[in-house]
């Protein structure tokens, strides 16, 4: 997939030219950036993509919409332009206004779209939120190089039985977008997740720490493959990787601020309990992460949500600084 010109036309012309005269439909026909994002990309200004599964499946209403707006403001505060990505009305929208965000947050039939689901949501006209994998696909097609999220999907605990490995890992291996996250949630098997990332050729770089952070916790007990604290150095790596067109993504792991973390030892108990609850209730596949997030919210009496909001905002600010450095 190469970033190409964005043909903002709907297929299905009224006067139907012969099959041979009709231009082929490409995925870029379905990609609709806002005017602000389109102009920023055309001028080489820094743009940061944001996912929307965190809005529809990661946080309860109204915290989800409030957080989405705060995160956009954080990115603007660092001098970059935010572009929240979602599927609405049969288009992959790059940048959402307040009404779009509200619609997405309140709709109850929203598809959680990974690589397998994105085209289905577009062709069926159903609203869809994008995971890390689908957000990377859309960002790349639109020409956006930096993306901020909370946590990536990975190899689930027990994957040797279930084969549950997030498509986020394959996407990081193939699509040249830099993703800033707070590490991998400890409901995943973190060592196996790192192994798959290495196999897929993804550099995993911790920011401001030697360890791979574990989402709600700053520590995982597992050393990160690389560490870079300077956004200029991260931007240089991004530009260098881009020169090797087929080298895929870069993963930056940024620990949650200390004042908002829930230590690993405490989190482990909540995670074990909620994974056991998921098994008991027969929750499987792509429903596991949303279920566990909701369950942990209850088990921590709402504290995990405060942590989640803090880490997403922290990642958005870092992503914006990297995008600014890369645009300079």
The catalytic residue positions are 51, 185
Q: Quick one: how many helices (H) and strands (E) in the chain?
A: 13, 11
* Choices 68-76, 114-122, 158-166, 187-195 (CB under 5 A): range interacting with Mn ion: 158-166
d(CA 127, CA 179): 24
* Choices 32-40, 42-50, 54-62, 85-93 (CB under 6 A): range interacting with ligand PSU: 54-62
Nearer to ligand PSU, 6 or 153 (CB): 153
d(CA 22, CA 65): 41
Nearer to ligand PSU, 51 or 74 (CB): 51
Contact positions with ligand PSU (CB under 6 A) in 89-128: 114
Rg over CA atoms, the chain: 19
Report the residue from 231, 274, 289, 307 that binds ligand PSU according to the rule CB under 6 A: 289
- Residue 250 contact, options Mn ion, ligand PSU, none, Cβ 5-8 Å cut-off depending on partner type: none
- Across the chain, the runs of DSSP E, i.e. the strands, are 31-33, 47-50, 81-88, 91-94, 111-113, 128-130, 146-148, 178-181, 204-206, 226-227, 250-253
Size of the site for ligand PSU (CB under 6 A): 18
Nearer to ligand PSU, 55 or 324 (CB): 55
Report the residue from 37, 40, 54, 194 that binds ligand PSU according to the rule CB under 6 A: 54
Q: Does 168 bind Mn ion (CB under 5 A)?
A: no
Q: Does 304 bind ligand PSU (CB under 6 A)?
A: no
Binding mask 158-177 for ligand PSU (x = CB under 6 A): --------xxx---------
Residue 145: how many other CB atoms lie within 10 Å: 26
* Choices 38-46, 54-62, 157-165, 311-319 (CB under 5 A): range interacting with Mn ion: 157-165
d(CA 60, CA 108): 12
Q: Does 150 bind ligand PSU (CB under 6 A)?
A: yes
Q: By the 8 A CB rule, do 181 and 168 touch?
A: no
Q: Does 286 bind ligand PSU (CB under 6 A)?
A: yes
Q: Does 51 bind ligand PSU (CB under 6 A)?
A: yes
Q: Does 293 bind ligand PSU (CB under 6 A)?
A: yes
Q: By the 8 A CB rule, do 133 and 170 touch?
A: yes
* Choices 189-197, 251-259, 264-272, 286-294 (CB under 6 A): range interacting with ligand PSU: 286-294
DSSP code at position 223: B
Residue 203: how many other CB atoms lie within 10 Å: 19
Please give the backbone phi and psi of residue 98, each rounded to the nearest 5 degrees, phi first.
-55, -40
Q: Does 164 bind Mn ion (CB under 5 A)?
A: yes
Q: Does 57 bind ligand PSU (CB under 6 A)?
A: yes
* Choices 74-82, 83-91, 273-281, 285-293 (CB under 6 A): range interacting with ligand PSU: 285-293
Strands 91-94 and 204-206: unpaired
Q: How far is CA 231 from CA 143, 238, 302, 307, 328, in A?
A: 20, 10, 33, 24, 12
Q: By the 8 A CB rule, do 30 and 122 touch?
A: yes
User: CB of 1: closest distance to ligand PSU in angstroms?
Assistant: 18
Using CB under 5 A, list all residues that contact Mn ion. Answer: 164
Using CB under 6 A, list all residues that contact ligand PSU. Answer: 51, 53-54, 57-58, 114, 131-132, 150-153, 166-168, 286, 289, 293
């Amino acid at each position: 997939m190469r970033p190409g010109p964005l043909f903002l036309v709907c297929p299905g012309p009224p006067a139907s030219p012969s099959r041979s005269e009709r231009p082929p439909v490409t995925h870029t026909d379905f990609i609709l950036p806002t005017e602000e994002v389109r102009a920023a990309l055309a001028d080489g200004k820094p743009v940061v993509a944001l996912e929307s599964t965190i809005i529809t499946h990661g946080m309860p209403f109204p915290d989800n919409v409030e957080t989405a707006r705060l995160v956009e403001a954080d990115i603007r505060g660092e001098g970059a332009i935010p572009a929240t990505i979602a599927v609405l009305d049969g288009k992959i929208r790059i940048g959402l206004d307040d009404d779009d965000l509200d619609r997405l947050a309140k709709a109850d039939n929203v598809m959680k779209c990974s690589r397998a689901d994105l085209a289905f949501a577009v062709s069926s006209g159903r609203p869809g939120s994008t995971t890390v994998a689908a957000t990377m696909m859309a960002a790349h097609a639109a020409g956006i190089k930096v993306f901020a999220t909370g946590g990536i999907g990975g190899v689930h605990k027990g994957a040797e039985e279930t084969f549950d490995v997030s498509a986020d890992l394959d996407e990081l291996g193939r699509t040249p977008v830099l993703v800033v996250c707070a590490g991998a949630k400890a409901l995943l098997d973190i060592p196996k997740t790192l192994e798959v990332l290495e196999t897929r050729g993804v550099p995993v770089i911790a920011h401001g720490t030697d360890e791979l952070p574990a989402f709600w916790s700053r520590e995982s007990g597992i050393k990160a493959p690389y560490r870079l604290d300077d956004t200029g150095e991260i931007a240089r790596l991004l530009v260098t990787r881009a020169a090797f067109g087929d080298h895929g993504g870069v993963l930056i792991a940024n620990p949650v601020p200390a004042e908002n973390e829930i230590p690993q030892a405490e989190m482990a108990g909540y995670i074990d309990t909620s994974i056991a609850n998921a098994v008991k209730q027969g929750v499987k596949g792509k429903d596991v992460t949303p279920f566990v997030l909701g369950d942990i919210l209850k088990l921590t009496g709402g504290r995990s949500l405060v942590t989640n909001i803090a880490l997403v905002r922290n990642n958005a600010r870092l992503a914006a600084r990297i995008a600014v450095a890369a645009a300079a």
